[in-house]
Amino acid sequence: MNFKEKYGDYALITGGNAGIGAEFASQIAEKGLNLVLVARREDLLETKAIELTEKYNIKVKTIIADLSKIEEIKKTVNACNNIEVGLLILNAGMETHGIFPKLDLDKEIMSINLNITSSMALSHHFVNKMIPKKRGGIIFVSSLLGHMPTPYLSNYAGTKSYLLNFGNSLNGELKKFNIDVTVLSPGPTKTPMAESMAKGFIVPLDKLPMALHQPNFVAKVGLDALGKKPVVIPGIKNSILGKVGSRMPTNMAIKSGASMMEKFMNPEDLKL
């Protein structure tokens, strides 16, 4: 598939300066598309933009924005008024973990705004731009944990479940407008967010019952699935876990999820 012919000149990537988002940026730039990169860290954002511009001879627009804030979502939309974005990669996200009543409420609300509200609002805006052109593509970055109950990551798993259902539903709505929608649901991935999350675990990420993947592999799986699959979970082992977790009886899934997290997380994070 020729991405530039199918989706146009520009792709917008949230969280495009590190981890999976940075890999999306590199792989899409290699396909010849110009980029709009949105992230909070100006230093990382500009470094990535310079790297991509020099290596692939493309245009890169950077938007410094904290997408957990409604006004910053609007700022991002306004900054793209004169750019035709035909491919949208909604990758920015944050996680919190521990027993829910002890978690900081402000951070939980930030998580909902970043993981859910920014993805919904940006897709709403850019889909309205794609429909008259009768072409476009969206990748929502969910999580393997969005396919199953995950106690002690309750809010995070809930936000990722939203993206899974929302993306699947949009897939059904937007096919007739020639707009591709895929939900990418990675398991553990070697990213800064995963490293931060791992600090709350008493075992390394590669000892979890899920396969640990590199960001370049995860991004490639997502791009390869766009226009072909509504949902993709990178890796055979994680794909099987996702199917099993989503199909087992709810009581069993809850018990299994709680048992797994209680085994691997720092005991202090499980106490009130």
The contacts of residue 173 (CB under 8 Å, 6+ apart) are none
DSSP per-residue string spanning 55-108: HH---EEEEE--TTSHHHHHHHHHHTTT--EEEEEE-------S-GGGS-HHHH
Q: With CA atoms as reference, report the closest residue to 230 among 160, 156, 171.
A: 171
Contact 181, 230 (CB under 8 A): yes
**Is position 156 annotated as part of the catalytic site?**
yes
Contact 204, 228 (CB under 8 A): no
**Is position 10 annotated as part of the catalytic site?**
no
Beta pairing, strands 34-39 & 10-14: parallel
The contacts of residue 87 (CB under 8 Å, 6+ apart) are 3, 7, 8, 10, 11, 12, 28, 33, 136, 137, 138
Of the residues 7, 160, 162, 190, only one is catalytic, namely 160
Contact 64, 45 (CB under 8 A): yes
Contact 16, 48 (CB under 8 A): yes
Of the residues 156, 175, 220, 229, only one is catalytic, namely 156
The Cα angle at residue 165 between residues 24 and 11, in degrees rounded to 5: 25
The contacts of residue 169 (CB under 8 Å, 6+ apart) are none
Contact 97, 269 (CB under 8 A): yes
Q: Which amino acid does the sequence have at 80? A: C
Is residue 267 classed as helix, strand or coil in its secondary structure? helix
**Which residues are known to be catalytic?**
156, 160
